[in-house]
C-alpha cells in the first residue's frame, strides 16, 4: 500500500531527511513550504513529487499560514505529515494534525508501512531506546532523525497557494544574534565545560582550537556562572545549535540541554575524567582522562599530523 505524505518545511534543516523518511511509505511526498519562494525552489530541487508554497509576505511569520495550510491538508488528506522541531514548523504541524484528526508523535526517527498501519519509531528515555508505535489513522510527526542529502532528477514546478495570513501575527523585527556567526558555520568546534578549573587554563583550549582551525564554544554555566565566554558562545537547547563536522567536548558532562545543541555534528569527541559521565553515551569517540593531560597531548599530536 502506498501512503501519501506531506513534509512541512520552514527552513532547510532536515528537509532531506524527512523526504528520505517519507519515501519509505511508497507514496507521493509533497513539500508544504511556508516561507520565501527560493526555499520552495530548493525543495523542488530535492526531488519532492509536489511542492506547495505558502509564500510568506514581508513582515508575516510562517505560523500565520497555519489555518490556510491546515485547510489544504484536510483537502489532500495525506496519511503522514512530518515537520522538523523548528518552532514555526511545530505550530504548522499542530494545525495540520487537528485538521486531519491525526495522532501526534514527537522525536520521530523513522516511519515504515506495515499492512494498514504506519509504524513510527521515536526516540524515548532521552534517546536511550526507540519505541515503535503502530498508528492506524493519520499521523503527524515531529522529525528529529538524521538529515540526508537529496537531489531530484527533474525539478517539479512550485505551486504557489494563494492564502490569507490574517492579521493576528506580525513580525516587528528580526535581528541576528551578534557574535555567533563564526560558531554557527564552523566546520570544527572545541567546546569547554565546567571541567576546566580556571580562566587562565582556557589557553590550552585555545591552543587546541588554533591547531585545528576551530571555533570555541562552551556550556551554559561556563558563561553564566564563570563568565569566561559571552552568551553567543553557549551551545545547547536554549542557545546556539551547531552542526560542525567535528565537535570536541572538553570537561563537559553531557546534559541533554547541551547535547541537543550538537545533535547535528558529524563526529562528537569527548574528553572527560569520569568514566561514568553521560557524554560517553552520547558521543562517537571518548577519551577517559584528565583534560589537563590530554589536551596538550592532543594539540601536539594534531600539530604533528600534516593536514589536521
Partner 1 sequence: MKIVVVFKWARNPLDARVSADAAVSWPGVKLAASDDDPAAMEIAVALAAGDEVVGLTIGDGDTAWAAARGAARTVVVTGTPGEADSAATGAALAEAVRRMAGVGAVLIGDSAWDYAVISALAGRLGWPAVAGVTAAACSEQGELRVTRRLGAAIQVLAAAGPVVLAVTASRAEKNVPGMKEVLAARKKPAEKIAAADLLDAAIAYRVQTQGTRFPDTPPARVIDGGDPRTACEQLIAALRVEGVI
Ligand X SMILES: Cc1cc2nc3c(=O)[nH]c(=O)nc-3n(C[C@H](O)[C@H](O)[C@H](O)COP(=O)(O)OP(=O)(O)OC[C@H]3O[C@@H](n4cnc5c(N)ncnc54)[C@H](O)[C@@H]3O)c2cc1C
Report in angstroms how near the CB of residue 222 gets to ligand X at its nearest: 6
What is the spatial distance between Cα 109 and Cα 120, in angstroms, rounded to a whole number? 8
Which of 70, 251, 283, 286 binds ligand X (CB under 6 A)? It is 251
- Residue 17 interacting with partner 1 (CB under 8 A): no
For the CA atoms of the chain, what is the radius of gyration? Answer: 22
Report in angstroms how near the CB of residue 278 gets to ligand X at its nearest: 8
Identify whether the C-beta of residue 191 lies closer than 8 Å to the C-beta of residue 250.
Answer: yes
52 vs 64, which CB is nearer to partner 1? 64
Which of 1, 57, 134, 230 binds partner 1 (CB under 8 A)? It is 134
Question: Per-residue string for binding with ligand X, 147-186, x by CB under 6 A?
Answer: ----------------------------------------
Q: Which residues neighbour 212 within 8 Å (Cβ) at sequence distance 6 or greater?
A: 188, 190, 246, 248, 302, 308
117 vs 255, which CB is nearer to ligand X? 255
Write the DSSP symbol of residue 144: -
Antiparallel, parallel or unpaired: β 117-124 and 129-135: antiparallel
Q: Which of 97, 108, 98, 96 is nearest to 133 (CA)?
A: 108
- The stretch near partner 1 (CB under 8 A) out of 44-52, 147-155, 156-164, 253-261 is 253-261
Residue 252 binds which of ligand X, partner 1, none (CB < 5-8 A, kind-dependent): ligand X
- Residue 159 interacting with partner 1 (CB under 8 A): no
Report in angstroms how near the CB of residue 18 gets to ligand X at its nearest: 25
Please name the residue that has the C-alpha cell 528529529.
Answer: 144
CA distances from 212 to 39, 85, 143 (A): 33, 31, 33
Report in angstroms how near the CB of residue 242 gets to ligand X at its nearest: 11
Amino acid at each position: 500500500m502506498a501512503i501519501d505524505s506531506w513534509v512541512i518545511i520552514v527552513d532547510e534543516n532536515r528537509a532531506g531527511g524527512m523526504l528520505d523518511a517519507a519515501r519509505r511509505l511508497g507514496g507521493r511526498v509533497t513539500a508544504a513550504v511556508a516561507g520565501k519562494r527560493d526555499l520552495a525552489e530548493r525543495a523542488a530541487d530535492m526531488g519532492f513529487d509536489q511542492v506547495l508554497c505558502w509564500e510568506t509576505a514581508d513582515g508575516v511569520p510562517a505560523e500565520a499560514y497555519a489555518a490556510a495550510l491546515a485547510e489544504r491538508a484536510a483537502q489532500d488528506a495525506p496519511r503522514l505529515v512530518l515537520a522538523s522541531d523548528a518552532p514555526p514548523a511545530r505550530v504548522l504541524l499542530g494545525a495540520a494534525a487537528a485538521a486531519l484528526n491525526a495522532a501526534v508523535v514527537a522525536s520521530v526517527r523513522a516511519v515504515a508501512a506495515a499492512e494498514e498501519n504506519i509504524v513510527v519509531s521515536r526516540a524515548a528515555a532521552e534517546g536511550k531506546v526507540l519505541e515503535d508505535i503502530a498508528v492506524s489513522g493519520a499521523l503527524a510527526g515531529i522529525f528529529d532523525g538524521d538529515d540526508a542529502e537529496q537531489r531530484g532528477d527533474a525539478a517539479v514546478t512550485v505551486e504557489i497557494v494563494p492564502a490569507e495570513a490574517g492579521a493576528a501575527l506580525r513580525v516587528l523585527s528580526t535581528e541576528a544574534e551578534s557574535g555567533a556567526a563564526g560558531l554557527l558555520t564552523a566546520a570544527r568546534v572545541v567546546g569547554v565545560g565546567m571541567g576546566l578549573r580556571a580562566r587562565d587554563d582556557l589557553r590550552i583550549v585555545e591552543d587546541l582550537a588554533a591547531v585545528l582551525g576551530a571555533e570555541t564554544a562552551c556550556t551554559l554555566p561556563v558563561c553564566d556562572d564563570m563568565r569566561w565566554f559571552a552568551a553567543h558562545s553557549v551551545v545547547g537547547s536554549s542557545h546556539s545549535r551547531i552542526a560542525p563536522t567535528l565537535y570536541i567536548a572538553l570537561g563537559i558532562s553531557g546534559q541533554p540541554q547541551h547535547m541537543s545543541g550538537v545533535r547535528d555534528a558529524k563526529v562528537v569527541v569527548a574528553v572527560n575524567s569520569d568514566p561514568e559521565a553521560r557524554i560517553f553515551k552520547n558521543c562517537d569517540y571518548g577519551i577517559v582522562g584528565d583534560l589537563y593531560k590530554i589536551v596538550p597531548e592532543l594539540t601536539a599530536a594534531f600539530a604533528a599530523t600534516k593536514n589536521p
